[in-house]
Structure 1
Amino acid sequence: MAVQGSLQGSGRSRILVGVDGSQDGLRAVKYATREAQASGAGLWIVHAVDEAMPVTGLWDLVSTREVLLRAGEAIIAEAVGVAGGLGLPSERVSAEVVFGRPSDVLADLSGGARMMVVGRRSLNGLERMFVGSTSVSAAVRAECPVIVISAASTPHRTGDRKTVAVAVSTWPVHESALGWGIREAVLRKARLRVVHVVPETLGVEGAGFVAAATAGIEEQLAPLREQHPAVPMEVDVRLGDPVDALVEASRTVDILILGIHRDRAPLGGALRGVIAHAHCPVGLIK
């Protein structure tokens, strides 16, 4: 294990970000750095080296632990440079190379972080179907909120839309997801949008479900409006395919937060579809 820097604070004051040398990993570092700057948290950069990765040919001759460690340190150094370039003080940055399966490493370390940010490599249609096994596996097992970010979803800096969305798929509203959404809205000085999709398969009865869902969500938001008068809150209930509707909603928000139920793993196809095609970072919380 190689460690760089000395992080001020520990535990839940840190934002964990996984890097793998890809551009998506560096985008994750940028997002996590800005989150750290906004919240006052420290940044904890980790690169996991999977020694069990199959190798063939001449690579067998050079894939020693030392070589892998040096490669990981180069990836870490680049990530630390990105964070420093964005103005985060070095004393608030810690970085290390850890040996182990990336999804296992990140999941295990997540218990010591307030948030985890991961990049998702997804370069073509086939890859999008599988979303990125490392990010999804880590997100399912994480003990803290997770933000998944990629080139496909974030080609530009997020934050300009001043809108945080929480997707509601169950009733009552997922309390952890809604609570995180409110905190993000306060931090970003943004509005909160609660999105619910009524399946279009309900046909002519769908309109009635839309009205009922809107009224129910409004009722649940009423006390929260009183507690957070500075946060504009709006309800957006749509009729359509859940994945398509949420992906469309992601075009106009800075982050889309989804609640994960602890007793339902792994992630279902709908959640994976949203993560794969969203136009903004996707937050996952249990």
Structure 2
Amino acid sequence: MSIVVTGATGHLGRLVVTHLLADGVPADQIVAAGRRTETLADLAERGVRVATLDYGQPETIAVALEGAETVLLVSGSEVGQRVEQHRAVIDAAKAAGVGRLVYTSAPKADTSPLVLAPEHKATEEILRASGLTFTILRNGWYTENYLGDVQQARETGEIVGSFGDGRVASAPRDDFAAAAAVVLRTEGHDDAVYELSGDEAWGFDELAAAASEVLGRPVVYRAVSPEQRAADLAAAGLDEGTVGFVVALEGNTRDGLLAETSGDLSRLIGRPTTPLIEALRAALAEA
């Protein structure tokens, strides 16, 4: 039997595999599955089994999940297509007799007005109706989501947005991956839902201060209205749909939807979550 990690060719999935290995799970009990298996050659050299898995090609899912005891379904990146893609994985897991499926969802997905929540809510509903034993990891915001803002500030000296006084309880992907690895390799998580977030919520003045320190130059946060933000993004060449999405997400942040600090993440990983400035410094070093 094995642990199958879907999306292993992406940032989060690869980190989960790395943590499983570091935590002592035998390499031959791990299947790293994804679309671009050529990027998994280094894991294969360590003894990890590699499988092609494309959410859009159900026949690849069935093969990758054969003999799996536990499956991590890393949510897809194709907004608008994710519900059916996730359904295909859940159906294949049920057909394969998988013992437990772990899904990476979004904060308070079943009740939140967060712009990203609806597809995650729908997936959670499909998972609950499937009869499979499940664990839902409602991942909060990755600190790396703001790497682009910090890199831009290197040139402009400012971080711009319509976040207002909103706060974000972020943590780096590696913290979330460590938690997923714990859940995959240990017992006691059947039908559990975890709200995962960083230990401390920070505001955008604090993000600017952290950027100042890691960049070695002054950076300020410049708050603008949603209307101004939309106009600026359109002027920068973003299409209407992307502009609407960004402004809506910044509005969600302004409304406090990313600020909850439940403590679930630090409890799972057995240590405090990585502070903002440390996470930014590491992300810049890897960029």
The answer to whether TM tops 0.5 is no
Larger RCO (CA within 8 A; separation ≥ 6)? 1
* TM-score (norm. length: structure 2): 0.33
